[in-house]
Amino acid sequence: MGLSGRGPGQDPSRPNAGDRRHVAPPQPVAVDAATTVVPRPDRRSFDISRKNADGSQVVISQKTLPDGSQRLSGFRQTEDARTGTVNRIYSDGARVVQGRDFERRTLGSGATFVTKRDGLREAVAPDGRPVFQDRFTAVRESDGRTHQMIERTRYARWVQGKPQFEPTPVVRRYEVAQFHGQPTSYYRPARLPPEHYHGIRARYAVPVALAAVGTYVAFQSMSSSSAAPTYSDPVALMGDMQIASGFEEGYAYAAPPSGAPGVYDTPEAAALRSQMSSVQGEVNSNLKGNQALQGQLGGLNMQATSSQVQQSVGSAVPVQVSEEVREQIRKQVRLSVALQQNGKPLALGDVLSSGYARIYLFQTAQPLNVAGVSAPGECFLNTGDLIGFSRLPEATAQVAEMRVVASTPNSCQPGDVVQVKLTDLQEMLNGFTERVEENLKRVTACAAAGKC
Amino acid sequence: MFCTHCGKSIEADTRFCPHCGNSQAAGASAPPQAAAPPMPAMPPAAAAPAGPARFAPPQAQPAAMPPGMQAPTMQAPMMQAPMMQAPMMQAPMMQAPTMQMPPAAPAAAGGGMGKPALWGGLGAVVLALVGGVGYWGWSQKTAGDELARKAAADEESRKVAMAQTEQRLAAEEQKRLAAEKAAADAEIAAAKVLLDKHIAAEESAAQAQAAARPGGLLPPPTVKR
């Protein structure tokens, strides 16, 4: 079987499901009256926290990655007690606003995603035009009863790094139900015309490349040296399309297309990077003359500079994906296509009770800030990142511990265990089904054009 | 006369030695030979003092002992065995070198056959004492060696037992890990089977639905030409 007791993407060096890697909170070390340094458990990474005179807080995080390279990031946080909002601006220009009943994320490209407490979501393009928007609607069933649904109108989709507006908005409906005490929306796919399903059952006489279906290879197979694989099996093509198009979209959200203005150069982001640099300098000079502090911090290397923030922005390197993960995604695509033909939603509750939840992979649909379990602090899940259960959630849990399986460089690292809300997991399942639907259409179009 | 026990000069007809308090009556003091194992009789030539003013030091005496008593077990225990320092044992050992021979001149002047015999008897007693003490020391040394060997053996067996326990624990841990891995393998294999079954069931339902719809069955998997 080749997996040797591991689920797809499970790190062999880490225990299987069921382990808890909660880490004791690290002790902050005061460098001066306003600045503390918090070493991370690996003793090679740390956070510097500085309280500013205006009440805002700057947090600088330096992480040492498994390959030894260092990544620097940071944010400035301000709180508005009157409105109950917490604002964070990140060193790459991204911004997160958490309100009492919403959370809004603006990414490097300027695209903004909003999630509301009632389950509605929306996305806005950098130019302010809506990409998609949810609203509640009442639907009358054949038995005469009406029930509430969420209707999502999609105006555009990201194609090769840019929002491409649909000639006619696409409307999708989501059933709403309470799951583990939270309003959760389930996408019930619409059946496509039969020719869409014919296309994935016939092998191609001439192998097809991903480029033929308008997808560039945003991932790299760990077991294949071929940079541009070709496919005779439509399911294999669909599987890799699913992975590649996810990462492609994630990269598009993270950085503006070349030449377009992004949020990296906004004055606030530039001011933050400048302050990060000066805070680092101050901490370094304090450490130089203070043996006791150096001892407390265990010789942390604080040499990374804020210039490294820039290096981590917009570097769309192919994501490493193992063969097991590709195989698993292929199977999930097959299942999704079959469910779509049968008009069934892909529901989290079904996955959890299926007996195969442990090997099931979730593809991040919309960018998320998530709390680390294996390491303290937060990290990001960007569109396309693949995660699997680290442990199955309890019956009443609202979050699940998930292990990152494959991710873009600016995301949580593969192997990290993070907490993800169950409503976000369901959104990932919805996104997966929708992506399969989109890709099915693209493959059908490719076949119709004689390219596949 | 001299005390038959401590050898110091005492008045004639004294019943008890004023120095050591022992009775001077014949057979009143039981010599340590009683405790000593049977030993070969000392040859008179060796037992009789050859005329030197003092006894040879005890260390020299073993030379006259039978070969079986001369081995290092004679001297080593006297120097090393802790039991040799017990007062009971030290007394004869410490006093023997200091025993004074009666002045030669009076002895010679006194003449008579009784004196040499007495000295010879005394010498034999002392030799027997020394031999007995030596044997006792040897036996103690042997017993000490036996104890040490037993302690070493105990220590060795304790170490072996510890090593065996560690090996057993390591083996159990390996077995536990292997069992966990096997369970995880089985769980994942079972999960894959369940996923495959679910896919097959949904695909077959989709086929059935497609067959029921206008347009007929989906085409079987074929290679496009």
CB-count burial class (<10 Å; 0-12, 13-18, 19+) for A182: middle
pLDDT digits (tens, 9 = 90+) for A91-140: 989 999 999 999 999 998 889 999 998 889 999 998 899 999 999 999 88
User: Residue A448: what residue type?
Assistant: A
pLDDT digits (tens, 9 = 90+) for A222-272: 666 566 788 889 999 999 999 999 998 888 888 877 777 778 888 999 999
Lowest mean pLDDT among A189-193, A265-269, B77-81, B152-156: B77-81
Checking if the pLDDT of A47 tops 90, the result is no
- What integer pLDDT is reported at residue A191 of this predicted model? 85
Query: Both ends of chain B: CA-CA distance in Å?
Result: 140
Which residues are CB-neighbours of A370 under 8 A, at least 6 positions away? Answer: A378, A379, A380, A381, A412, A418, A419, A420
pLDDT digits (tens, 9 = 90+) for A294-325: 777 766 666 555 445 544 444 567 888 999 99
Residues of B in contact with A337 (CB under 8 A): 206
CA distance B168 to chain A (A): 23
Checking if the pLDDT of A25 tops 90, the result is no
Neighbours of A125 (CB within 10 A): 18
- Cβ–Cβ < 8 Å for B3, B19: yes
CA distance B215 to chain A (A): 8
Q: Report which of residues A207 and B80 the model is more confident about.
A: A207
Q: Report which of residues A410 and B38 the model is more confident about.
A: A410
Q: Between B190, B209, B221, which is nearest A342 by CB?
A: B209
pLDDT digits (tens, 9 = 90+) for A188-198: 888 888 888 88
- What integer pLDDT is reported at residue B37 of this predicted model? 42
pLDDT digits (tens, 9 = 90+) for A353-389: 999 999 999 999 999 999 988 777 888 999 999 999 9
Q: Between A5, A335, A359, which is nearest B199 by CB?
A: A335
Lowest mean pLDDT among A179-188, B66-75, B107-116, B192-201: B66-75
Q: Within the 44-103 window of chain A, which residues sit less than 8 Å (CB to CB) from chain B?
A: none
- Cβ–Cβ < 8 Å for A363, A239: no
- The residue count of chain B comes to 225
Contact B182 A341 (CB under 8 A): no
Contact B195 A194 (CB under 8 A): no
Structure-derived torsion over alpha carbons of residues A279, A284, A290, A294, reported in degrees to the nearest 10: 110
Q: Within the 358-397 window of chain A, which residues sit less than 8 Å (CB to CB) from chain B?
A: 358-360
Contact A338 B205 (CB under 8 A): yes
SS (H, E, C) chain B: CECCCCCCECCCCCCECCCCCCECCCCCCCCHHHCCCCCCCCCHHHHCCCCCCECCCHHHHHHHCCHHHHCHHHHHHHHHCHHHHCHHHHHHHHHHHHCECCCHHHHHHHCCCHHHHHHHHHHHHHHHHHHHHHHHHHHHHHHHHHHHHHHHHHHHHHHHHHHHHHHHHHHHHHHHHHHHHHHHHHHHHHHHHHHHHHHHHHHHHHHHHHHHCCCCCCCCCCECC
Contact B191 A356 (CB under 8 A): yes
Q: CA-nearest residue of chain A to B210?
A: A194
Q: What is the mean pLDDT of chain A?
A: 84
Q: Between B191, B202, B206, which is nearest A359 by CB?
A: B191
Q: Report which of residues A206 and B164 the model is more confident about.
A: B164
Which residues are CB-neighbours of B58 under 8 A, at least 6 positions away? Answer: B78, B93, B96, B97, B130
| Cβ-count burial A375-394 (b if 16+ within 10 Å, e if not) | bbebbbbbbbbbbbbbbebe
